Structure 1
Amino acid sequence: MKRLELEEIKSRKRPLIVATVASVCWSLLSFNAYSVTFVLFFAIVWLYYYLSRRALRTLTITRSIDRERLFSGETLTLKYSVEGSRFISLSTTLFPVIIGDGEYFVPKESSFVLSSNGTGKVETKITFWRRGKKDLSRLVLTSKDPLRFFSHIAKYSAPESILVLPKVMNIDYFPLRLRELLPGSRSDFELMEDPVDFRGIKEYEREPLNRIHWNASAKLGKLMIKEFGYTAVSNTILYLDLNLSREIFARDVWEKIRIDYEEIAVQLSLSLVRFAYGSGGRISLVIVGDEVLRLSGPGRDWTDFAEVLADTRGSDQGPQLSEIIEEDLERFDLATTVVIISMYLGEDILPQLLRAKSHCSRVVVIIIPFSPREPWTKRTVSYQMLPRTIEGLKRRAAVLEEEQIVVRVVGDNQSIQEVLVDLENR
């Protein structure tokens, strides 16, 4: 819980000034009981004006939130407590102000009457659909007199922010290749779990029935399965390219595409990281954005990747993916699967992809130039106007397929899950 401090108060009192001047002029021109009554009335209104302004300075406002981390699509609950002044009641309206990266949120306002020595409590819920850090610091509180002769706008703040993590896609398949056994030779790689390495139990998720731990299930009241370690694990290096390629000429068109692509690509990357952790594999993530970030799997949980991806941004002038892959060629070995997620496949990167294939077990390239279809929606007729460079992109993808480099271009009427199932069946 944090206490908010007053930043400034702005008052609007022009109607009160005009009405006061009019009543004074009336009393000077015609001094009678009615004119005196109006002068006294506006004197009381002016007194209420100064008392209400002073009350706003002495309010005690606290804020609490139900969490500091949440995923896209989840709801945040903000609770405000406002302790009133000693002398007067105030008719107030409260506006939480939330600022994100290129976004500005003003949740639904909450109006209430704050009585003297009373406390008002306000609860606001807001759902975030884009990842990133959201600033919750500011609060705007307005107060008007019942006759609307004046109003006050007070701004309060206390530093506080939350992190909205990327949405996680539901992925059931992805080809994380393991090294095959050598005939007649002892090898450290096996294509199965190690039944001796019992790690523990976890909740049942469509696994075979022979994996169910019946004793634990009976004690916990829900199906639990045995979880084993692996005698061999996949080693995956995932490259997430968020920048605009230098080969693109229609940069204004592609920059608009890149904004939507960035969200989809980050979600897919986090989902693949989580899938790799769930299948017992090792994965490293290389983010090519405003700067190059590298995250390795050992000692981390998949949520650590989520926190980094939540605040990652690309640009139209950042480092190029081809240069990063060229630097990393020596990191690859015959047990490595290289996965690349990008928006565009240019001519410059083709030599690096061919060299990467000669150093590792498999290269998988997923190109997302469109906003993919959600998996629960039906296919529709597409009338989307596509850049001409898309045809060249598909042609280069076909050339790489001939060199045993797996390339998939996500169509504008395809879902990500359909493309991944196609990769699994390849």
Structure 2
Amino acid sequence: MKYKIKGLLLMSIASILFNIFYFSNYTILLLVLVLFGWYEFFQKKKVFENLEIEYDLEYEKCFIEEEIEYRIYLKNNSNEDIYITISPSNLLSRLKPPFQRIKLLSNEKKKITFITSFGTRGIKEIGYISINYKTPLGFEFWKIKKVNKTIEVLPEFIYSEFNKESLKKLLPGQKSNIRVLEDVTYVENIDEYNNEPMNRINWKVSAKYDKLMVKKYAHTSTGKVYMFVDLNLPDGIPKNNIFWKSERKIYEEYALKAAASIIRNQKLKHEDVNLVVIGKEIKRISSNDWINYYDILSISTGTEEPEYKIEEIIEHDLPYFTYEDTVIIISIHLTDKIIPDLIKLRAKTSKVIVLIMPYGFRIEHEGKLNIKEHDMFRIEAIDLEKKTILLEENHIIVRLVSPNNSLTEIFETI
């Protein structure tokens, strides 16, 4: 706890001097007022010292722009009421309201609720809680408590349907849109009997509808989706180019949005997804829960001077791919150096999809820009577009995404 008594000290000195040199009833009154100020100071100091402060967050994780409650619990352990001002944190710029002034009754415990949200992903520090008491008697107190909690802001995902997996080796255990082999662990529907085997008849449902009804099963496949998200500037782009430096940061957020959207879509369909994020560090994850992937995406960052290169990562992982796998690569740019590795990768897998998005993509509800798409791209991207012809000839699907393309529109062209 800290306090400031400069005003009270000045009043005390002034009242003593007035009583020495200008003694009167008024100077005595001033001295009494100062003495009352000191009495009030020690009383409120005792109240403030015994003030308990606790805190809580509605969630430990949230999405960008999602509003959450930030709760502060105060307890007055004294027999005296007090008016205080609560300022939760200077780090929470979106706090509503920014502060609250309340009356805390004697021995009262009160919950004060604030609403906050975040505009960017990552691990966010909450900062400090500040409690202030101020009086016209010339002194004030304040107490600061560090919040030993952080909140993880997950990347935004854009709704899109990604159904571009190739035909895979078929085994029970996983859903697929390709109706080739049935998975008897998933009953998809009940339908009227039409020359199906007798063991498929659902006798309870048949008795209810007074006609033969059979089980319709879902169908399965077991290939994996491998996703490589490169957040770094690749070789071939000038490292000190101001345009690419600023554009890489914008690209990073869009790349993670695209990855989050595809991963969520795949996991809801029970697909195996192996994610590799290439940034300042290499992060790998394979999980049954899509939210675990978001934990990785929320803290991943790239750099203009990378230690790790995507072509080296792909070359390292090449022996582990099988022909049933689908590979998705998201990058800001591709250079000639990676083309041989992509061709080798295609020879080992069923499908390779490369999404190049130097300027991000269009969100579904946003309008299109009034500009020709070809005019949007810099010369490096235009040169890359010419090289994609060679890749397409080798059955490597490359899409150069413009700010006028939505994810759904891009997926529909694959």
Deviations 1:294-323 (A, max 9, x none): 2224xx222221222222222233311111
Structure 2 CA distance for aligned equivalents of residues 113 and 320 of structure 1? 59
Identity among equivalent positions (%) equals 23
Give 1 or 2 for the bigger CA radius of gyration.
2
Residue 358 of structure 1, aligned match among 338, 342, 347? 347
Aligned to 1:144: 134
Match of 1:314 in 2: 302
* Structure 1 equivalent of residue 74 of structure 2: 82
What is the match of residue 222 of structure 1?
Answer: none
1:155-170 equivalences under 5 Å are 155-170=144-159
Contact 1:288-1:321 within 8 A present in 2 as well: yes
Q: Are positions 1:286 and 2:273 aligned together?
A: no
CA distance in 2, matches of 1:351, 1:239: 17
> Which of 375, 383, 392 is the equivalent residue of 2:383?
392
Look up the SS of the partner of 1:121 in the other structure.
Answer: strand
Contact 1:92 1:141 in 2 (8 A): yes
Structure 1 contact 235–336 (Cα < 8 Å) conserved? yes
1:364 deviates by 0.7
Residue 255 of structure 1: aligned partner: 245
Unaligned regions of 5+ residues in structure 2, if any? 171-175, 190-201, 206-214
Matched, 1:58 2:45: no
Instruction: State how 1:8-407 maps to structure 2 within 5 Å.
Output: 9-97=1-89, 107=96, 108-136=98-126, 138-145=128-135, 147=136, 149-179=138-168, 191-192=178-179, 194-195=181-182, 197-199=184-186, 228-249=217-238, 250-297=240-287, 300-318=288-306, 319-381=308-370, 387-407=378-398
In structure 2, how many angstroms separate the alpha carbons of the residues matched to 1:83 and 1:152? 17
Distance 2:316 2:90 in 1: 41
Please give the alpha-carbon distance, in whole angstroms, between the structure 1 residues aligned to 2:229 and 2:133.
Answer: 49
In structure 2, the residue matched to 1:210 is none
Distance 1:352 1:23, change over 3 A: same
Aligned mates of 2:243, 2:410 — CA distance in 1: 25
Structure 2 CA distance for aligned equivalents of residues 388 and 25 of structure 1: 81
Write the distance in 1 (CA, Å) between the matches of 2:310 and 2:116. 37
Q: Which runs of 5+ in 1 are unaligned?
A: 1-8, 182-188, 203-212, 217-225
SS in 1 for 2:68: strand
Deviations 1:249-297 (A, max 9, x none): 1444323222222222222212212222233432211111222122224
**Deviation, structure 1 residue 120:** 2.9
- Please give the TM-score of this superposition, normalised by the length of structure 1: 0.80
Amino acid at match of 2:78: R
Q: Is it true that 1:414 corresponds to 2:405 in the alignment? A: yes
Q: Tell me the TM-score normalized by structure 2.
A: 0.82
Equivalent residue of 1:97, what SS?
coil
- Supply the distance in 2 between the matched residues of 1:200 and 1:127 (Cα, whole angstroms): 41
- Which residue number in structure 1 is paired with residue 208 of structure 2? none
Q: For 1:43, what is the secondary structure of its paired residue?
A: helix
SS of the aligned residue for 1:163 comes to strand
Find the aligned partners of 2:320 and 2:362 in 1 and give their Cα distance: 35
